[in-house]
Amino acid sequence: MQKRLTLLGSTGSIGDSTLDVVARHPERFSVYALTAHRNGGKLVEQCLRFAPEVAVVGDAETAAQVEKKLRAAGSKTIVTYGPQALVDVATSDACDTVVAAIVGAAGLVPTLAAAQAGKRILLANKEALVMSGDIFMDAVRDNDAVLLPVDSEHNAVFQSLPAEGTKHGGVSKIILTASGGPFRTREPATLVDVTPDEACKHPNWSMGRKISVDSATMMNKGLEVIEAHYLFNLPGERIDVLIHPQSVIHSMVSYADGSVLAQLGNPDMRTPIAHALAFPDRVDSGVAQLDLAQVATLTFEKPDYQRFPCLALAMKAMAAGGVASAALNAANEVAVEAFLNRRIGFMAIAQTVDAVLNALENRSASSLDVVLEADASARRAAHTVIDSLPVPA
Ligand code: NAD
Ligand code: MG
């Protein structure tokens, strides 16, 4: 049966890769809705190519521009805007599969709504799960939603787990691999001076700017440990991080009998996306076959928590529980944006997150409202910290 998709965040890096895979298999996948925030021009191009029933943007002005261009081109796609419109397309009876590819906290409400509506969810938007944790996983379980990880590490773990996917027969550990980002070997004392463009130059993956900075600080891996904790229901002690600069092994599962199962491939997000889109089938993703003779060498190192304080901060927030992970994520989003706008230096990202976590009055994440309140208050706290920091030279 053909799958009908809502693609939240279609104009981003994951959105692009998803549509590339979708276009290869028109008999398997069709598009019900595409959503963008402000990039109306790109959304128009996507709508003309994939003819969704609905397109959603962030505001009325962008909606009017998109609508005008679509009508001029003879398109019938309905254009809507705003947070409720995202929820509407994520829960519509007209779609069965929701690709969650909005970046950051903005993706939480529509992705959680998709879980409550019992959709098949392809999760790239790790921040949504980091923020809402058990609330999200409970919604998936209680509404018979299906949650398939798109994040390459989690998709690799999912592929390497026992066939039932969620049963942990004999699993001793999950090993999340990390490239170490662009600053793995850079002299730590020089990290204060790095620019946004340097931070966004990832050695192996091409991604949106926010996750690229997260990879450079290794906050991304910290968020991924929390993501793995909820997705696979394992405590932090059973989730290891291993630096693997080549990004060929995308993660591993270690078993009681000494076996370690891994998923390998070229670093291209179309592989995990195609896996999750077609699951349990396998389809062509457009990614070249892995040539291990060409790769020749795979190397591994332990992560350096001194060099990457954000990784340690994420572990601390996960151990604290409650709304600490939501606060960590919110403070990080604010700090990364300030770094990208050259308002603070690179090392001030960790400093800001640390200060916000230290000031946090933690509480149980008892409802979505409590989580959203913690997100808002951590954002305010992060802005206060940033206001006190010097502008980099
Ligand atoms: P991106 O910045 O390239 O794209 C983000 C998308 O979200 C865009 O379509 C944008 O219009 C939309 N968006 C941004 N702000 C929004 C808002 N306030 N409201 C509604 N929509 C908004 O990001 P990306 O690299 O594609 O990453 C998307 C998500 O996938 C992130 O959570 C990221 O951590 C995760 N992820 C990405 C990669 C990757 O290779 N890019 C890999 C693993 C996981
Ligand atoms: Mg990842």
Shared domain for 311 and 190, answered yes or no, is yes
Provide the b/e sequence for 117-143 (b: ≥16 CB within 10 Å). bbbbbbbbbbbbbbbbbebbbebbeee
In a domain, 285, yes or no: no
- Domain's final residue, options 110, 129, 149: 149
Q: Would the CB of 267 count as within 6 Å of ligand 1? A: no
pLDDT given for residue 169 in this prediction: 78
**Cβ of 80 below 6 Å from ligand 1:** no
Q: Are 314 and 334 members of one domain?
A: no
* Dihedrals phi, psi of 307, to nearest 5 degrees: -70, -35
Ligand of minimum distance to the alpha carbon of 11: 1
- Boundary-marking domain end, from 116, 134, 149: 149
DSSP string, 15-57: HHHHHHHHHH-TTTEEEEEEE-SS-HHHHHHHHHHH--SEEEE
215 & 326 share domain: no
Ligand 1 center to 102 CA (angstroms): 4
Asked if residue 182 and residue 259 are part of one domain, the reply reads yes
Q: Which ligand is nearest to the CA of 15?
A: 1
Pick the residue whose CA is nearest to atom 2 on ligand 1.
208
Amino acid identity, residue 271? T
Name the token pair of 68.
């005008």
In a domain, 159, yes or no: yes
Q: Which atom from ligand 1 is nearest to the alpha carbon of 206?
A: 40
In a domain, residue 373? The reply is yes
- Asked whether 7 lines ligand 1 (CB < 6 A), one says no
Please give the single-letter amino acid code of residue 91. T
CA 191 to chain centre: 25
The CATH number given to whatever domain includes residue 63 is 3.40.50.720
- Beta-bridge partner residues of 8: 100
Ligand with minimal distance to 125 CA = 1
Do residue 197 and residue 107 come from a single domain?
A: no
Neighbour-count burial for 272-307, b at 16+ CB within 10 Å, e otherwise: bbbbbbbbeeeeebebeeeeeeeeeeeeeeebeeeb
Put simply, whether the predicted model's pTM sits higher than 0.95 gets the answer yes
Same domain, 43 and 173: no
d(CA 331, CA 356): 7
Considering the domain boundaries, does residue 138 fall inside one? yes
Residues whose beta carbons lie less than 5 angstroms from ion ligand 2: 151-153
**Alpha helices (runs of H) in 161-218, residue ranges in sequence order:** 196-199, 209-217
| Domain interval for residue 97 | 3-149
203 C-alpha to center of ligand 1: Å? Answer: 19
Q: Which atom of ligand 1 is nearest to the CA of 269?
A: 40
Atom index in ligand 1 nearest the CA of residue 38 equals 11
Q: Which residues are annotated as a binding site?
A: 11-14, 38-39, 125-127, 151-153, 179, 202, 208, 215, 220-221, 224
| Nearest protein CA to atom 16 of ligand 1, as residue | 37
Instruction: Clarify whether residues 65 and 139 are in a common domain.
Output: yes
9, 131: one domain = yes
Report the pLDDT value the prediction gives residue 164, as an integer from 0 to 100: 66
> Do 43 and 101 fall within a single domain?
yes
If you search the block for the tokens 């006190």, which residue do you land on?
388
Which tokens sit at 12? Answer: 């981003």
Q: Is the minimum distance from the CB of 89 to ligand 1 under 6 angstroms?
A: no
Residue 274 is assigned to a structural domain of this protein: no
Q: Is the CB of 124 under 6 A from ligand 1?
A: yes
Q: How far is C-alpha 180 from the chain's CA centre?
A: 17
CB 96 within 8 A of CB 82: no
Ligand 1, atom 43: nearest CA belongs to which residue?
151
Same domain for 14 and 116, yes or no, is yes
Q: Is residue 155 part of a domain?
A: yes
Side-chain half-sphere CA neighbours of 110 within 13 A? 31
Query: Is the distance from CB of 347 to CB of 389 less than 8 angstroms?
Result: no
For residue 230, is it within any domain? Answer: yes
CA-127 nearest atom, ligand 1 = 32
Mark whether 10 and 140 lie in a shared domain.
yes
Count of domains for the chain = 3
Residue at a domain's end among 149, 175, 199: 149
Q: How far apart are CA 128 and CA 133, in angstroms?
A: 8
Q: Is there a domain that residue 367 lies in?
A: yes
Q: What residues pair up with 100 in beta bridges, in sequence order? A: 8, 123
Long-range contacts at 13-16 (CB < 8 A, ≥ 24 apart): 13/206, 13/207, 13/208, 13/211, 13/269, 14/99, 14/101, 14/124, 14/150, 14/208, 14/269, 14/273, 15/46, 15/99, 15/101
Reading the block at residue 192, the tokens are 């204060």
**Residue for token digits 């969620």?**
166
CA of 200 to the centre of ligand 1 (A): 14
Give me the residue label for tokens 């529980």: 321
Q: Nearest ligand to the C-alpha of residue 179?
A: 2
The packing angle between helices 13-24 and 40-50, to 10°, is: 10
pLDDT of residue 205: 82
Model pLDDT, residue 202: 87
333 CA to centre of ligand 1 in angstroms: 12
333 and 379 together in one domain:
yes
> Which ranges of the chain have pLDDT less than 70?
164-168
**Mutational pocket test of ligand 1: of 84, 87, 103, the residue with most ligand atoms within 8 Å of the beta carbon:** 103
